[in-house]
Amino acid sequence: MTYDIRALRDKQVPDENGNVLPPEATRGHFKWSVILGEEDDEQLVMIGRAEHFDAAHAMSSSYACASCCPDSTVDSYVTPFFTVEVFADDIVDFDAVEIKEDCYGDRYDSIRTFNVSWNSSDSEVTSVNSSGTVTALNGGESDIEAVFSGRYYYTQECVPQYRPEAGDATHDIQPNLPGCGACRFDPATQRPRGRLRVKPRITSITPARGLIGTATAVTIRGRSFGSNPSVIIGGMGVTYSGSGGSTTQLTGTLNVAADATIGDHSVQVSNKGQRSNAVNFIVQLPTRLVPFDIPDRTTNGKGPVVVIDNGDIVDLSGNVRATNQCGVYQNVAYVLVDQAGQRIVQPYTLIEEFAFNAQPSQTFNLPANAIITDIHSRSRTAPACLGFNEHDELVQGFTVVAGTSRFDLTTLVSIRVGDFMGTRNVFVEISRP
């Protein structure tokens, strides 16, 4: 039997593993085996043999190797070898690596590129395609298993034969005896496994700030929250109660206790023991008021001083608060900010109180995103008007009630409004220590 190795190379004929000879190969070690057919024990085995004849020098030599079986599959693993931690939507390529052993007992690793099937132990966590490409789906841990058929080859032992003419016993291969010296194999199915830890991914929490002592409705958006996610809040005094959601969005309420830690609280989503990245939710402490500019209405938080003899007093929303007034007024606008100067947009209750010229305090519920407005005024319904030097002198302070807690703001507003020696005016100074 003759093999045309050049033809095998040029025609790129694959071997049992699908490998081909490099087209440019001109020399090297060529290793081959012929095995006995699986179904036919009677098939003759062939061994490698080379015959050299040198007719010119009347020399010849003959080389025959012992029966060398194909390389056996002795073990396997997958790469990545160690457990991989990924976030949702990440893709990881797995390879099945076959550890093979040649007939000399030498081992080597060979990536198995054919006839490998792939499985995920938890289809909620990962999916894997036929090429071993794994997609992280939801939080959790999943084994990725490669399954392929390997073979462990062995040589059929020859029955020692006694040759009386030689006077000895031999283990020589007897190729013409069926089975003797033939390669046989046992199935060596391989199931190597790798492991993937998939972490949910949070992309945003809205709003990312909440007022101390109140409940803030939040939406957590991201990926891979899974079928039974839980929300973990760091720090003290903030808890989450969920109201609904999906694998990409959770809705619920962050309940911020009156004694919660001010500032950052980490928020993570966990599913099947795997925690997401952390995003921050900031607990806001009402601290002070900051003048706010409403376009065309206030500058540095103040509207113009308006002196009226028989006119309407109009607030910053355009509402007429009093008609036919004689006096003076000025609108002002503020927003409430927290310890970091960030605006507080949740609803809260504002109490204004006055020192010096004690007026009753006013309690006011502010809706979300509202801008605080105030009118500093002293006026009377015309034809009456302010008396000579009739004015108010006030120091105005503010307290925010959030939940059951009260927070005195540092902002104080000193106000003088009314008639000053026959001149009507408003003087306002805002101090924000």
Partner 1 sequence: MWKYKRRIVPAVLAALGVALVAYAQQLPPPREAQEAMRRHRERTRGTVTAQEALFGVLRGLGVPGGFVLSPQCEEEERQTPPGGSSLRERLDSLVAAAPQYKWQAENGVVNVVPKSGLPALLEACIVRFRAESVRSPGEALVKLIETPEVREAMTRPDVGSRLFRGGVGYYDPNPEASESVKTFSVSRDNVTVREALNAIAREHGRAMWTHRQHHCRGVHAFELDFAVW
Footprint of partner 1 (CB under 8 A): 294, 313, 315-317, 319-323, 325, 327, 329, 333, 350, 352-356, 358-367, 369-382, 384, 387, 390, 392, 395, 397, 408, 412, 414-416, 420-421, 423, 425, 427, 429, 431, 433
For strands 279-284 and 209-211, give the pairing. Answer: parallel
Query: Smallest distance, Å, CB 328 to partner 1?
Result: 11
Q: How far apart are CA 252 and CA 215, in angstroms?
A: 10
Give the residue from 156, 188, 191 showing the smallest Cα distance to 174: 156
Query: Smallest distance, Å, CB 276 to partner 1?
Result: 32
Residue closer to partner 1 (CB basis): 131 or 357: 357
Are the beta carbons of 414 and 395 closer than 8 angstroms? yes
Residue closer to partner 1 (CB basis): 120 or 411: 411
**How many CB atoms neighbour CB 119 within 10 A?**
15
Query: Smallest distance, Å, CB 398 to partner 1?
Result: 9
Query: Smallest distance, Å, CB 311 to partner 1?
Result: 12
Q: How far apart are CA 126 and CA 122, in angstroms?
A: 6
Are the beta carbons of 418 and 330 closer than 8 angstroms? no
Q: How far apart are CA 279 and CA 219, in angstroms?
A: 12
Residue closer to partner 1 (CB basis): 193 or 416: 416
Residue closer to partner 1 (CB basis): 219 or 361: 361
At 159, the amino acid letter reads: V
Query: Smallest distance, Å, CB 346 to partner 1?
Result: 13
Residue closer to partner 1 (CB basis): 21 or 415: 415
Residue closer to partner 1 (CB basis): 167 or 318: 318
Residue closer to partner 1 (CB basis): 147 or 412: 412
**How many CB atoms neighbour CB 308 within 10 A?**
20
Q: Can you say whether the dihedral through the CA atoms of 113, 117, 121, 125 is positive or negative?
A: positive
Query: Smallest distance, Å, CB 211 to partner 1?
Result: 16
Query: Smallest distance, Å, CB 342 to partner 1?
Result: 17
Q: Can you say whether the dihedral through the CA atoms of 339, 342, 348, 350 is positive or negative?
A: positive
Residue closer to partner 1 (CB basis): 178 or 397: 397
Residue closer to partner 1 (CB basis): 278 or 370: 370
> And the tokens for 235?
């720090």
Query: Smallest distance, Å, CB 307 to partner 1?
Result: 13
Cis peptide leading into 164, omega within 30 of 0?
Answer: no
Q: How far apart are CA 116 and CA 93, in angstroms?
A: 14
Estimate to the nearest angstrom the gap between the alpha carbon of 182 and the chain centroid: 56
Q: Which residues contact 222 (CB under 8 A, 6 or more apart)?
A: 88, 200, 201, 202, 203, 204, 248, 249, 269, 276
Query: Smallest distance, Å, CB 204 to partner 1?
Result: 21
Query: Smallest distance, Å, CB 303 to partner 1?
Result: 11
Q: How far apart are CA 87 and CA 274, in angstroms?
A: 10
End-to-end CA distance of the chain: 101
Estimate to the nearest angstrom the gap between the alpha carbon of 110 and the chain centroid: 34
Question: What Rg, from alpha-carbon coordinates, does the chain have?
Answer: 44
Residue closer to partner 1 (CB basis): 189 or 431: 431
Paired with 253 in beta bridges are 217, 241
Plot region of 77 (φ>0 → left; ψ -120 to 50 → alpha; else → beta): beta
Residue closer to partner 1 (CB basis): 219 or 319: 319
Kind and range of the H or E run holding 338: none
Query: Smallest distance, Å, CB 317 to partner 1?
Result: 5
